[in-house]
């Protein structure tokens, strides 16, 4: 959509583009920190078209041709849903899998684990490689890495014949115990490549060398499955942008929250599983600086879901495994807790007569009832419209128009008539239940991480987040809610503040106290050499390279490990005390003096992108102009009030607004509760001090 604001940019600028289900967001920030924000409809059939449309819109706002806009760009960061959508839609490549004889089925057995045990009628999502394309190779490596039986390459030859006959497009290799010794996998890979070097190969000891044939195999298979769809798509988009003038080429956000070039991703497209939402990592770091707080909880709410992320002591919480479309991936990833709660979430009454909100949603089309595209069921957006929180008429920059009568009718028939409530009461019920679900989601990630959310600042983002931030923050016991002015382009904005990052992992077996510093140093040095090569290739001089070493540690017998960062000189006593502090916080106990074993070594290679904070707008004096008042439902205690409504552009740094109030911004609407005080901070964002 076009915003009327024209911004003159000074080169070079950095661009972030996030492709969502409904909108593609673009944020550009120039050498002086000036920003352009563009939002265009996504094109599900060809997401790259949405990217190009966003570029065109942004160039227009900057008064530049597309070519000049791209030529002035010194970093083009993209969050792409291409890998995730390939999985969700089941449109990946035909994959052949080679496994150790006797172990073809771990990706089909899935460790027998069901995500929702009470729902046993829903089948597992289809296995990505049919059993007749999962073929055995004789030969065996033992648990300690020694060879029990040599690898039989004749088996590879016959498997290759089958793969050819069956039209296989990509090959995955996952042999038992390859994490301990990859020699057999490498020999098999070489044999496959010799037979047909057009097949993209995914070799488990390269993709993710961890213990566990299911998790390693599943990750490797997903990698093979998405590669032939993802890589050509990214190459083509990269080439198009370069042809149009982009000097540096495309950078992609990975699940770990770091960025990588298309060339870096060729072997590991699986790392794009969380490409879009992981852009939030950069946003957390940016707003950590803006708020002066190292402890942030973010709640990014869009049309269908709410993503919750946590930054504690300046570190964004990560995880080593995630499920995408029902498939297990073991890759370093940002820990994002997602619940079905957004503007399009559907409400109703179950057959026992209880009000429910979600988790299902109306999507972008038909969307909420008030859009008038034929959905009869009431959604959160319909409730907000009836409560006066949203304004009838043009919405989301004019992409749709909100019809109050349709919203009222949906609320009446689906809820009001069944429960004996007015439309207004039904709407209140929806919002209160939705905000309860949001609160539950934030509490979950806090409790699982052993932190107290009351000392955190709640960052409310996404198009729909700032509407609920004050209420959820209050219920959590937070004192402060922070709303970025470009809340609706949160992840795209975050992408401007994201470093290049790649992670290296090695399985290791040793007691922490008896492992020699030299042994560790040797492995770490080898891993770091790989990291340096990558960073050098990506154009980072040594001064901008940062290498982080960490150990995966556990007490013997434990099923999961804790990651502890270590210095370049290994100090076992210091590492023990860090491990114990973390164990105490997360698990509530330690084993004083207990043995600690090292099970893995990790290196993160980080290429630091120069930090450029957004421009500080000029302070504004006096009282901001109001658009007038609107009758709005505030909360249980205050009921309905005449509420001041402001236009975002009328508020600048230094302005204060006493709640209740509504701020209509370009990409979001902010709700300030009764007794709350909103201050526009120096960066131009909204800082809300909550009434207790």
Partner 1 sequence: MALDPIALALVQNRLDHISRQMGWVMTRTARSPIFNQSHDFSCFLTDAGGTLISQADGIPIHTGGGGFAVRALLAAWGSDIHPEDAFLLNDPYVAGGNHLPDWVIARPVFVDGTLAAFACNRAHQSDIGGGAAGTYNAEATEIYHEGIRLPPLKLIERGRLREDLWQLLKLNSRTPEALDGDVRAMMGSTRIGAERLKALLEDYGLANGLELVEGVLAHADRSFRAALAGLPQGIWRAEEKTDNDCFDLRDVWIRVALDLRADGLTVDFTGTDPQIRGFKNSSIANTWSAVYMALASFFEPSLPRNEGTFRCVRIVAPEGTIVNARPPAPMTMCTVFIAHEIVHAIWKALGLADPSRACAGWGKSIHNGSAGRVGTDRPFVAYHWHCMPGGGAVDGRDGFNQIGHLIALGGLTIPNVEGYEQAYPLRILRHELRCDGGGPGKFRGGTGVEYEVDVLEPAEYSFRGEGVGYATGFGAQGGLEGQVGHMRLVLSDGTSIEPPKYRVCRYELPLREYASSPGGGGWGSPLDRDPMAVLRDVRDGTVSRHAASNIYGVVISADGRSLDDAATQRQRALLRQPGS
Footprint of partner 1 (CB under 8 A)? 102-106, 108-109, 111-114, 116-124, 130-132, 142-143, 148, 176-177, 179, 211-215, 350-356, 419-421, 425, 428-429, 432-433, 436-437, 440, 443-444, 447-448, 450, 509, 557-560, 586-589, 591
Least distance CB 111 / partner 1 (angstroms): 5
Q: How far is the CB of 148 from partner 1 (least distance, A)?
A: 8
The residue (of 560 and 577) whose beta carbon lies closer to partner 1 is 560
Give the H or E element holding residue 88: helix 82-89
Q: Closest CB to partner 1 among 473 and 684?
A: 473
What is the radius of gyration, based on Cα positions, of the chain? 26
In the complex, the smallest distance separating the C-beta of residue 439 from partner 1, rounded to whole angstroms, is: 8
Distance of CA 634 to the CA centre of its chain: 32
Q: Least separation, in Å, of the C-beta of 630 and partner 1?
A: 23
Q: Regarding beta strands 35-41 and 250-253, do their DSSP bridges make them parallel or antiparallel, or are they unpaired?
A: unpaired
309 versus 431: smaller Cβ distance to partner 1: 431
Q: Give me the residues paired with residue 174 across strands.
A: 99
Residues 407, 386 contacting (CB under 8 angstroms): yes
Smaller CB distance to partner 1: residue 278 or 383?
383
664 exposure class (CB count in 10 Å sphere: 0-12, 13-18, 19+): middle
* Closer Cβ to partner 1, 292 or 557, answer by number: 557
- H, E, C per residue of 340-405: CCCCCEEEEECCCCCEEEEEEECCCCCCCHHHCCCCCCCEHHHHHHHCCCCCCEEEHHHCEEECHH
Cβ-contact 369, 379 below 8 angstroms: yes
Tokens 């909420």 -> residue: 368
* Closest CB to partner 1 among residues 145, 248: 145
**Nearer to partner 1 (CB atom), residue 253 or residue 599:** 599
Q: Measured from the CB of residue 518, what is the shortest distance to partner 1 in angstroms?
A: 24
Cβ of residue 104: shortest distance to partner 1, in angstroms? 6
**582: three-class secondary structure by DSSP:** helix
Of 130 and 652, the one with the shorter C-beta distance to partner 1 is 130
Residue 173, beta-bridge partner list:
98, 203
- Residue 31's CB is within 10 A of a number of other CB atoms, namely 15
Centre a 10 Å sphere on the Cβ of residue 528 and count the other Cβ atoms it contains.
Answer: 19
Shortest distance in whole angstroms from residue 506 CB to partner 1: 15
- Cβ-based neighbours of 177, under 8 Å, separated by 6 or more: 140, 141, 142, 143, 145
Closest to partner 1 by CB, 265 vs 451, is: 451
The nearer residue to partner 1, 88 or 211, going by C-beta atoms, is 211
Closer to partner 1 at the Cβ: 34 or 94? 94
Work out how close the CB of 601 gets to partner 1 at its nearest, in angstroms, rounded to a whole number: 16
Smallest gap, in angstroms, from Cβ of residue 186 to partner 1?
Answer: 18
Phi, psi for residue 502 in degrees, rounded to 5: -140, 145
C-beta of 522 vs 584, nearer to partner 1: 584
Alpha-carbon gap, residue 644 to 503, rounded angstroms: 50
- For residue 92, the minimal CB distance to partner 1 (Å) is 18
Torsion of CA 464, 466, 472, 478, to 10 degrees: 150
Query: Coil, strand, or helix at residue 323?
Result: strand
Task: Quote the CA–CA distance of 343 and 671 in Å, as a whole number.
Answer: 14
Q: Please identify, using beta-carbon distances, which residue of 67 and 440 lies nearer to partner 1.
A: 440
The burial class, CB within 10 Å (0-12 / 13-18 / 19+), for 366 is middle
Q: What is the C-alpha to C-alpha distance for residues 310 and 662, in angstroms, rounded to an integer?
A: 27
CB of 434 to partner 1, least distance (A): 10
Please say which residue, 291 or 426, places its beta carbon nearer to partner 1: 426
The least CB distance from residue 516 to partner 1, in Å, is: 22
- In the complex, minimum distance from the CB of residue 290 to partner 1, in angstroms, rounded to a whole number: 31
**Longest Cα separation, the chain:** 82
Contact 102, 304 (CB under 8 A): no
DSSP state of 412: I
- For 309, half-sphere exposure in the C-beta direction (CA atoms, 13 angstrom radius) is 34
* Cα separation, 403 vs 376, whole angstroms: 13
Closest distance to partner 1 from the beta carbon of 101 (Å): 8
What is the C-alpha separation between 375 and 355, in angstroms, rounded?
19
């Amino acid at each position: 959509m076009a915003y009327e604001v024209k911004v003159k940019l000074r080169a070079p600028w950095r661009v972030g583009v996030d492709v969502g289900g409904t909108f593609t967001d673009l944020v550009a920030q120039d050498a002086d920190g000036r920003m352009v924000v563009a939002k265009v409809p996504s094109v599900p059939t060809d997401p790259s078209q949405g990217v190009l449309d966003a570029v065109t819109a942004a160039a227009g706002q900057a008064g530049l041709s597309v070519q000049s806009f791209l030529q002035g760009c010194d970093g083009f960061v993209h969050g792409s849903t291409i890998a995730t959508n390939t999985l969700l839609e089941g449109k990946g490549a035909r994959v052949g899998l080679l496994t150790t004889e006797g172990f073809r089925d771990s990706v089909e057995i899935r460790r027998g684990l069901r995500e929702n045990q009470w729902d046993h009628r829903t089948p597992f999502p289809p296995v990505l490689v049919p059993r007749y394309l999962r073929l055995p190779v004789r030969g065996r490596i033992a648990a300690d890495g020694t060879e029990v039986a040599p690898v039989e390459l004749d088996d590879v030859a016959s498997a290759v014949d089958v793969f050819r006959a069956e039209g296989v497009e990509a090959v995955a290799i996952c042999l038992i115990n390859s994490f301990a010794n990859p020699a057999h996998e490498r020999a098999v890979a070489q044999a496959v490549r010799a037979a047909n070097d057009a097949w993209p190969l995914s070799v488990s000891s390269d993709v993710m060398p961890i213990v566990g044939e299911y998790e390693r195999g599943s990750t490797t298979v997903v990698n093979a499955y998405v590669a032939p769809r993802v890589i050509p798509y990214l190459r083509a988009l990269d080439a198009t942008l370069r042809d149009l003038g982009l000097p540096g080429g495309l950078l992609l956000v990975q699940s770990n929250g770091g960025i990588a070039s298309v060339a870096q991703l060729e072997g590991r497209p699986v790392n794009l599983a969380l490409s879009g939402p992981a852009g939030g990592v950069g946003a957390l770091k940016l707003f950590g600086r803006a708020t002066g707080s190292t402890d942030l909880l973010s709640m990014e709410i869009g049309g269908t879901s709410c993503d919750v992320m946590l930054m504690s002591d300046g570190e964004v919480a990560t995880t080593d495994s995630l499920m995408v479309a029902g498939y297990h991936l073991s890759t370093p990833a940002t820990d994002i807790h997602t619940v079905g709660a957004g503007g399009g979430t559907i409400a109703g009454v179950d057959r026992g007569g209880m009000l429910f909100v979600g988790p299902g949603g109306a999507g972008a089309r038909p969307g909420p009832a008030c859009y008038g595209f034929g959905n009869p069921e009431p959604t959160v957006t319909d409730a907000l419209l009836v409560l006066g929180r949203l304004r009838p008429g043009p919405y989301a920059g004019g992409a749709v128009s909100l019809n109050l009568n349709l919203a009222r009718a949906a609320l009446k028939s689906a809820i009001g008539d069944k429960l004996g409530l007015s439309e207004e009461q039904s709407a209140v019920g929806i919002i209160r239940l939705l905000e309860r679900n949001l609160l539950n989601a934030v509490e979950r990630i806090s409790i699982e991480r052993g932190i107290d959310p009351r000392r955190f600042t709640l960052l409310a983002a996404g198009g729909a987040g700032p509407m609920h931030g004050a209420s959820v923050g209050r219920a959590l016991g937070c004192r402060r809610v922070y709303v970025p002015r470009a809340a609706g382009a949160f992840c795209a904005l975050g992408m401007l503040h994201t470093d290049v990052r790649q992670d290296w992992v090695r399985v290791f077996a040793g007691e922490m106290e008896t492992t020699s510093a030299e042994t560790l140093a040797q492995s770490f040095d080898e891993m770091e050499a790989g990291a340096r090569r990558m960073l050098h290739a990506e154009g980072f001089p040594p001064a901008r390279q940062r290498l982080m070493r960490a150990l995966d540690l556990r007490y013997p017998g434990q099923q999961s490990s804790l990651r502890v960062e270590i210095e370049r000189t290994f100090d076992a006593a210091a590492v023990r005390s860090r491990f114990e502090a973390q164990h105490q916080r997360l698990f509530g106990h330690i084993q004083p003096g207990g043995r600690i074993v090292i099970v893995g070594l990790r290196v993160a290679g980080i290429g630091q992108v120069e930090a450029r904070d957004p421009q500080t707008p000029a302070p504004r004096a006096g009282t901001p102009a109001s658009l007038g008042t609107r009758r709005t439902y505030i909360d249980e205690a205050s009921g309905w009030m005449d509420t001041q409504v402001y236009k975002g552009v009328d508020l600048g740094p230094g302005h204060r607004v006493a709640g209740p109030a509504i701020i209509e911004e370009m990409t979001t609407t902010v709700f300030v509760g009764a007794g709350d005080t909103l201050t526009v901070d120096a960066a131009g964002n909204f800082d809300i001090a909550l009434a207790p």
